[in-house]
Structure 1
Amino acid sequence: MNIITYQIELLEPVLVTALQGDPNSGVAFDYLPGSVLRGAIISRFRQSEQLDIADEKVQRLFFNGHTRYLNGYPLDDRQRALPIPHAWHRAKEEETPLYDFAVEAGDPQTDWQRPHAPFWLPVGSQARLITPDRHIAVHIARDRHLGRDDDGVIGRAVYRYDALAPGQTFAAAILCDDDELAAVLLPLLSGKWSLGGSRSGGYGRVYVSHARQLPDPATWRETGGELETADHLTITCLSDALLRDASGQAAVSPKVVTQAVAQALGIETLTCRQSFLSATTVGGFNRKWGLPLPQVPAVGMGSVFVFDPPDCALDKLYTLEQTGIGERRTEGFGRVAVNWLAQETWPVETEDAKHKPPPPPVKLPADSPAAEIAGAMAARLLRKQIENRIADQATGLGASLRGVKRSQLNRLRLLIQDALYQEPQAGRQLLNDYLVGVGERKVTRSQFDRAKVGSEPLLLWLEKRFDHEKGRGVWQDLRVNATESKIGDVTPDLADDNLVYEYNLRLAEAVLARAAKEEER
């Protein structure tokens, strides 16, 4: 067994819609489904190799269950959050503590409620509740060719997107059965991807990083810690599970879960003592066919089942955790945890505890190898921060830029791309000569004067981007903070002329690219 973990940072809102909401709305999952991540990896794979469905290697990578793509759950404090168990309850109008009814039954005289958050993390003996941030936007349908509403066809239809907000990071994992598959997958887990729907409308861009293969996968558990035996067997669903009854129909009941667990453990009988079951409906969308998948009922993530102790070896329980139960396990369905939680009550971490002051930075000796490495790391973090800010700015500024022909925008983009390969002085001269030429052409000058970047005329905005002194204000425009990229006591240098030159040009090119895309519509 090989375990690969990686992180997904949302650069734009991500809309992977769940089966909820009214017909005029799209509501995203609180997580990144494994099926979507698998599809993105397949797209990356196809860029370098042919996807032959009959090829055994392709089958083992993506289709037959040898490789399992786990859901991307929120990353908090360098830990991957997990679904809150449905056995957890709190007294009405009290936020803390949380009581685990799978460990000890609650007082029937108390009015109990479920916690509101979908995910949690253990912080010592406390529980940190996690709810992903959402991005809600209202849109008006428009004709794709006209680029505006056509009253006769669309009728000013208004719809709403409730997506995962940008700026968040999710953690996911891939489980594969042999080293050959891991060697193929690792190089694919980096760079910018697109996930979910409305990708041409400013949704779906993410950045994948921190992919690594765990050195000791034999005892790895999705929940962490060691698997312990007890006088019972507790199964907690870490993802939705698709199960079928004896007649082959999709079903949601303690009985079908009991049958699936017994079959996975290789035992004939297993008795369910109690269950905390949630049900959901699972669908999907096949981009190859352009059609939705059949909707079927499923056991919801967080469901908890308590069984009598099974007559099987400990390694069978490890195998159950690694392989899961039910169908579509390749897509992250059917993940379970065995004997995960034994604590009766969980105090909820307070907001003050979440925002502890950071420890003082580590002082590194000047000119030491450690300081050199820290400087390189800080520079990379700074570049990543700047690129994220540029992506955010370009979406807003470029979408509002109107009135310049697409041919003019693309010509200037090519000049900027050429200038990026030149020294700052030569590159600025090339671009300023172009702006002088624009000023001498009456029609073109009028286009550049009328067009606005925010509230500023395009020509003046470009002059600022290409000017040596005025260009230093780019960090303020992008709201870049060097201390956010600090490593120890090493802070990256924002005064570097080459850095100022490069990212002024990259900002200008990104805004023009977005504007050209809008003009094309």
Structure 2
Amino acid sequence: MIQYLVMEVRNLEPLKIGAGGSKKNPAEPSKDYIPGSTLRGAIISQLIKQGVFTQETGPSIVKGIECYNAYPYRNDKLFVPTPQNLRVDKHKWRRRKLLSAQPGGEDSTISLSDLLQESRDRNALEYRFLSVEGDTLIGAKPPKFYTLHHSTSNKPSDREKENLFNYQAIASDQTFRSILSFGPDQLPLIESIIGQKQSFLAYLGGSKGSGYGLCMIKTVGEVQADYREARKLLGFKIPSKQAAGRKLTITCLSDCMFRDEYGRPINELPRRFIEQGCGVSGSLAHSLVVTGISEGFNTKWGARYPKETTLKAGSVLRYELERELSEAEWERVCWKLEHRLLGMRTQDGYGWVGINLEFPAALRVKEEQDQANSASGCNRETISVDESPREKEAAAQDIGIIKRGLKETKAQWLRMIVLKAFKHSANLQPAADRVILRDGLRRHPLQLMLEELRLCMAKLRGTDSNHKSSKSSSSVGDKQLYRFNKEVCSIADCSFAAIIDYLNGGGEEAANRRLEAYADKMLGSKRGGLYYAYANGPNDRPLFVAELLEAGLYYLHRRDS
């Protein structure tokens, strides 16, 4: 008889859990959840410390212990991978999101469509994880960031003595929940790992010696003999539809690795599992799957696991059974197929499925924020340094090196936005979500605008001690109408004059809100978060707007010359 224990993980340091790709890439991405294999490694590490796990007896001791993937947990809700059958109209989504991002914006919802039924929408959802609140879906995205690292080698055989590379990691102070399943005879072993405090510290993921991976792992509630009770403790809110019928819908809640009777990889649930769970056979009617490659690294071996084909989490399979099942039969089917992991490598969290999960057809636009963690909504980490003057000076030098190293790539990113705006602005009108840039200003007005803008930028950077304060638009004559022409140059439906007022700390409130909403959108991207991670706190949004406007005016100035 299988027993279940719900585990909660809170990372005290950023988590670096590699997400595959080329190992030669200097920017290694990270997963946004904690795989079961990573949790299993933490349990084995605890057993090694206690002297229980040895090379001879270790494999037999942990046989039968299965670790489910740990997914984000916020406000008493577990967020599971988004299923592939849910789709949205991207144009409606962007409009709703832009409105909700403005101060005082409504917490609106948007309707979704289902590819298992007739649907015209083909755009995937933005949120990687979903949960349910009432009759509405809510999304979550664990915050991640890139950190620049510098390594030096003293080995004479190494051709490259120094190396710069980026690690992506999950931001610290996030909460995840998982299930640990085991046999009844292994309960004393599990209790010895947890201890009397029902919690322990462990390092998860990679780069443990570089400030990554420290986590607090604790139990939630008591050991459960029923999977359904364990799922309640887990915070799993998505109900299962158990009405009489013939349709069996399987949603992969983790990556799955299935093989047929000959040991060959297949992209569906083996027939034997359906016959054992339902008592009848069925045929595959719809298949919405995304395939992936299994990966992993064994520290003991010092080598990577073999790569195998998997069905990625979120894949959906719809089967048509030979006969209709009653409600009581569906309850038995759900328990049989859900109470254990299916397929291969279940000890590493592969094979978690949900049966006939009923997802609401409406999605809340705003992301769910962790009320117990004010930093959960941040996607850029702040840097804290020691109080020692020497440490402060060293940290300031490091940040200066990073800023200089990113200066050229940041300029290329701004130029890319400008070139894209110039190319596509010919037939577009000014709007709150776009940059408008067209020919129409002569060289002298452009020179005046650049000079005025650079005075504002010097003020923002704190280097304007030898400059006069820039003029606001109210002090400029109405003859300079080019300053108010949004058809030629504008950001977020704001003219040059409105932008200058915003940079000087004034201007209309509505225009300022549009500029800040556009800046938040761009700084929330991967590149924006990287290039402006070391900006001066509240000045990061005005500084981005000023530098983007400077890049646009400089581009027009060069075209005119």
TM-score class, shorter: 0.5 to 0.7
8 Å CA contact 2:240, 2:358 repeated in 1: no
Once the two structures are superposed, residues 148-190 of structure 1 have per-residue CA deviations (whole angstroms, 9 ceiling, x without a partner) of xx89632432211111111211111112232x32342145242
8 Å CA contact 2:6, 2:230 repeated in 1: no
> Does residue 234 of structure 1 match 2:249?
yes
How much has 1:339 moved relative to structure 2? 1.0
How much has 1:102 moved relative to structure 2? 5.4
**Counterpart for residue 86 of structure 2:** 88
Q: Aligned letter for 1:167?
A: D
1:134 to 144, 165, 169: 144
**Counterpart for residue 9 of structure 1:** 10
8 Å CA contact 1:229, 1:339 repeated in 2: no
With over 3 angstroms needed to count, the CA separation of the structure-2 counterparts of 1:202 and 1:292, relative to structure 1, is: same
How much has 1:318 moved relative to structure 2? 0.7
Q: Aligned letter for 2:118?
A: A
Q: Give the Cα separation in 2 of the matches to 1:128 and 1:243.
A: 30
How much has 1:48 moved relative to structure 2? 1.8
Q: Which runs of 5+ in 2 are unaligned?
A: 94-108, 375-380, 395-561
With over 3 angstroms needed to count, the CA separation of the structure-2 counterparts of 1:40 and 1:80, relative to structure 1, is: same
**Counterpart for residue 534 of structure 2:** none
Q: Give the Cα separation in 1 of the matches to 2:128 and 2:182.
A: 28
> Does residue 270 of structure 1 match 2:261?
no
**Counterpart for residue 43 of structure 2:** 41
| Paired residue secondary structure (1:141) | strand
**Counterpart for residue 446 of structure 1:** none
> Does residue 315 of structure 1 match 2:327?
no
Where does 1:440-455 land on structure 2 (aligned, <5 Å)? 452-454=390-392
8 Å CA contact 2:11, 2:172 repeated in 1: yes
Q: What is the TM-score normalised by the length of structure 1? A: 0.61
With over 3 angstroms needed to count, the CA separation of the structure-2 counterparts of 1:156 and 1:68, relative to structure 1, is: same
Q: What is the TM-score normalised by the length of structure 2? A: 0.57
Q: Give the Cα separation in 2 of the matches to 1:53 and 1:265.
A: 37
Where does 1:106-125 land on structure 2 (aligned, <5 Å)? 106-107=119-120, 110=121, 112-125=122-135
| Paired residue secondary structure (2:321) | coil
| Paired residue secondary structure (2:112) | strand
8 Å CA contact 1:4, 1:186 repeated in 2: no
Between the aligned residues of both structures, percent identity stands at: 21
Where does 1:295-306 land on structure 2 (aligned, <5 Å)? 295-306=307-318
**Counterpart for residue 30 of structure 1:** 32
C-alpha RMSD of matched pairs (Å): 3.3
Once the two structures are superposed, residues 392-437 of structure 1 have per-residue CA deviations (whole angstroms, 9 ceiling, x without a partner) of 99x9546x97xxxxxxxxxxxxxxxxxxxxxxxxxxxxxxxxxxxx
**Counterpart for residue 159 of structure 1:** 165
How much has 1:215 moved relative to structure 2? 4.8
8 Å CA contact 1:243, 1:260 repeated in 2: no
Q: Give the Cα separation in 1 of the matches to 2:227 and 2:182.
A: 12
8 Å CA contact 1:230, 1:309 repeated in 2: no
**Counterpart for residue 212 of structure 1:** 221
- How many residue pairs are counted as aligned between the two chains? 356
**Counterpart for residue 279 of structure 1:** 291
Where does 1:370-409 land on structure 2 (aligned, <5 Å)? 397=385
8 Å CA contact 1:102, 1:304 repeated in 2: no
Q: Give the Cα separation in 2 of the matches to 1:59 and 1:211.
A: 27
8 Å CA contact 2:258, 2:310 repeated in 1: yes
Q: Give the Cα separation in 2 of the matches to 1:97 and 1:245.
A: 40
Where does 1:357-376 land on structure 2 (aligned, <5 Å)? none
With over 3 angstroms needed to count, the CA separation of the structure-2 counterparts of 1:174 and 1:100, relative to structure 1, is: farther
How much has 1:49 moved relative to structure 2? 3.5
**Counterpart for residue 461 of structure 2:** none
Q: Which runs of 5+ in 1 are unaligned?
A: 359-380, 386-391, 402-450, 457-521
8 Å CA contact 2:15, 2:205 repeated in 1: yes
Q: Give the Cα separation in 2 of the matches to 1:97 and 1:14.
A: 33
8 Å CA contact 1:121, 1:128 repeated in 2: yes
> Does residue 289 of structure 1 match 2:290?
no
